[in-house]
Amino acid sequence: MKTQLNTNTPKTKVEKEPALKGTLASVLFLGFFLIFTWVSVYFLFLNRL
């Protein structure tokens, strides 16, 4: 009887992290844009007091 070599090594599922670098960059860009506009309007208000 032939012994069969078990070549099927148990497959480990490699879960790839999604690439979110671009998303992080755009979220932060939008965030800093909002903060920049808010602070500009606030300083305009202080300037006109």
Partner 1 sequence: MHMHKYEKIWLFFGIGSLFVFLAVLGVGAFAQGTQPPSCLTTIDPEKVDQTPPFDKPGLVKTGDNEYQLNIVASAFAYTPNQVEIPKGAKVTINVATKDVIHGFEMAGTNVNMMVEPGYVSSYTQTFDKVGEYVILCNEYCGAGHHLMTAKVKVVEQ
Binding region for partner 1 (CB under 8 A) = 17-18, 20-21, 23-24, 27-28, 31, 34-35, 45, 48-49
- Residue 17 Cβ, how far from partner 1 at the closest point, in Å? 6
Nearest to 26 by CA among 34, 15, 38: 34
- For residue 30, what are its two tokens? 């939008």
Residue identified by tokens 């860009």 is 29
Distance CA 10, CA 29 (A): 44
- Residue 14 Cβ, how far from partner 1 at the closest point, in Å? 14
10 versus 18: smaller Cβ distance to partner 1:
18
